[in-house]
Amino acid sequence: MNGVLPDSDLRGLIADGAISASAPIIDAQIQPASLDLRLGHAAWRLRASFLPGKGQRVEDRLADFEMHRMDISGGAVLEKGCVYLVPLAERLRLPKGLSAVANAKSSTGRLDLLTRLITDDGTEFDRLPDGYDGPLYAEICPRSFSVLVRPGMRLNQLRLRRGHAVLSDDALRSLHAETPLVGGTALIDQGLGFSVDLRPEGGDLVGYRAKPHSGVIDLDRIGAYDPREFWDSLHSTDGRLILDPGAFYILVSRESVAIPAGYAAEMAPYLAMVGEFRVHYAGFFDPGFGIGASGAGARGVLEVRCHEAPFALEHGQVVGRLVYEKMSSPPKRLYGQDIASNYQGQGLKLAKQFSASAG
């Protein structure tokens, strides 16, 4: 059946050798609708980001771009503003009829850690063609904070698809009528639109802006860092926030959204013409996101970067959309119910490396 492959199918592909790795794949890598990918033991500092191009291997293009090779086995710092290439532990030999797409994990995006998948023959990032057979690489560019990485860390994830999986707007309206995806009226236009919350209930804290000069973040240290050393808290009393060019922000959606068990979703930009900013789409939304025991939904955390000119963002302005996809079958485990999930039921929340003392 067409759709995004669930966890049970991913386990089958691992058992068959279609998904293999230099070290055994562990259970924690297998999410309801995706597979976490792990960093290998080496990294190359690059002078520029690149795509290998049709008919060319990543390995053969390295000589054009590498500055030096780093052994990250004992941990290594990837410096802010630099570009790195890291071979991943996993490789693919996809059966005909299966394609794949990659995306950064939620915590990766909330650290403004640009992470994209590169493959042999690649002409675009994060997209693998039907039947791809070859190695996987992560291009990593820390944009706000320098980070300490080690082999085995999971910064991005892979979703496999059979055939066409994206729901049309008509199908999305039918799903919303059957199982509400968002409280109130749903804005459906090439996906489910969502807006920014700049008038929060119970206070005036609307988000955070990354400080331009801060220390190194060890990605393995959960809840270890004081947010005040890395972030400026942002407050608004008039429902407006002026974005500074080049700055990185963590904001939150006004709407609470839900992903039913038979579906998955991906965050995407709304329109390039709505303003001088970009809402990053750093993660997949797994089946079960926002469902939980209360069924009340969960807000989407927005990773926002302003472009060339200052821009006034208004409360309720539509800034992104969720593109829903059908699963080929429901997963065995759901996000936030059967597995540990850092962001289920979330509101405005920084990456898991920070303590909860921000305000």
**What is 181-233 written as a DSSP string?**
SBSS---BSSSEEEEB--S-TTS-EEEEEE-SS---EETT-TT-B-GGGTEEE
Q: Check whether 330 has a pLDDT greater than 60.
A: yes
pTM over 0.75: yes
Check if the beta carbon of residue 292 is closer than 8 Å to that of residue 298: yes
Tell me the helices (H) and strands (E) count for the chain, helix number first. Answer: 4, 25
Q: Is residue 235 part of a domain?
A: yes
Annotate 28-89 with DSSP letters as a single string: GGB-SS-EEEEB-SEEEEESS-----TT--HHHHHHHHEEEEEE-TT-EEEPTT-EEEEEEE
Co-location of 176 and 291 in the same domain: yes
* Share of residues in the chain with pLDDT > 90 (%): 75
Q: Residue 292 above 80 pLDDT?
A: no
pLDDT of residue 343: 46
Same domain for 114 and 238, yes or no, is no
Count up the domains in the chain and report the number: 2
Residues 298 and 241 in one domain: yes
Tell me, yes or no, whether 139 and 181 share the same domain: no
Please give the DSSP secondary-structure letter assigned to residue 27: G
DSSP 8-class letter at 274: G
Asked if the model's pLDDT at residue 218 lies above 90, the reply is yes
| 19: enclosing H helix or E strand | strand 19-21
**Do residues 133 and 15 share a domain?**
yes
Q: Which domain holds residue 133?
A: 3-162
Q: What's the pLDDT band for 336 if we cut at 50, 70, 90?
A: low
Q: How far apart are CA 236 and CA 238, in angstroms?
A: 6
Q: Say whether both 251 and 109 belong to one domain.
A: no
**What pLDDT sits at residue 277?**
73
Do 14 and 158 share a structural domain? yes
Q: What is the CATH number of the domain that holds 121?
A: 2.70.40.10
